Amino acid sequence: MTAKDIWDAKTYLQFEDERLRPALDLIARIPHEAPKLVVDLGCGAGNALPVLAARFPSARVMGVDGSAAMLAKAAAAGFETAQADINAWVPEAPADVIFSNAALQWLGGHVALFPRLLECLAPGGVLAVQMPSMHAAPLRAVQERIAREGPWAEVLQRVKGAPAILTPEAYYALLSPRVTKLEMWVTEYIHVLQGDDPVVRWAMGTSLRPFLDALGPEGSKGFLAEYAAAMRSAYPPGPDGAVLLPFRRLFLLARK
């Protein structure tokens, strides 16, 4: 097990429908008629691979991810996969579509990363990206605060969550001179969550993982208890017990 295998596929997939909805919305709008090679970059457990295969039935569809545990799920469904660091990944041949759903926000250096990914596209190829834009929301901001202020601060001093993504204006300035067409939009999904501390369970599948893995099962109990109390206050259940989680996401479609 390596640092790249921190993701718990079972925990992540607790909210499979909610996490897949943005991918469906993005895939439906990819402006390519007949791609030969479609790459799901940061494919995770492979949730979007069947949708990509259905959308582009004549294409070779493959998933790339850094986590062996996640790729095992994707490979079990019969899809071609490759384990690689996204920051260093280069396709064997130029891709027609590079699709990335909720993965690139984990990487810094977007000013260099996005132009490099455009260079991996064939002429007329499309870079299709969706990233959470939640850095200022309680879901994310409270994690950072608790990590800095709690008794675990020394253990977590070198642990970093996902950095804030750039503004839409910054992505436009970065990408528009390099592409023939650029579309961007922001959607805020209202996820209706049920059960005990559903916001905590949501975060445990993604943004909380670096902190929990550093603390270990025993050390993370106090951290989780404090985070859960804060999430109950920030996202209180309604009269029927449901918790509404507003989740903002940025979408980019860049055609080379």
What are the start-end ranges of the E strands in 77-233? 80-83, 95-101, 121-132, 181-193
pLDDT of 3 reads: 33
- Residues 150 and 226 sit within 8 Å (Cβ to Cβ): yes
Dist. CA 170–CA 57, nearest whole Å? 34
Q: Which DSSP letter does residue 103 get?
A: -
pLDDT of 4 reads: 36
pLDDT of 162 reads: 81
Angle at 164 between CA 237 and CA 211, to 5 degrees: 65
pLDDT of 64 reads: 96
pLDDT of 7 reads: 44
pLDDT of 153 reads: 93
pLDDT along the chain (256 residues), means of 10: 39 63 95 96 92 96 92 89 93 96 93 97 98 95 93 91 92 98 97 94 90 92 95 96 96 98
Q: Which domains are seen in the chain, by residue range?
A: 3-255 (3.40.50.150)
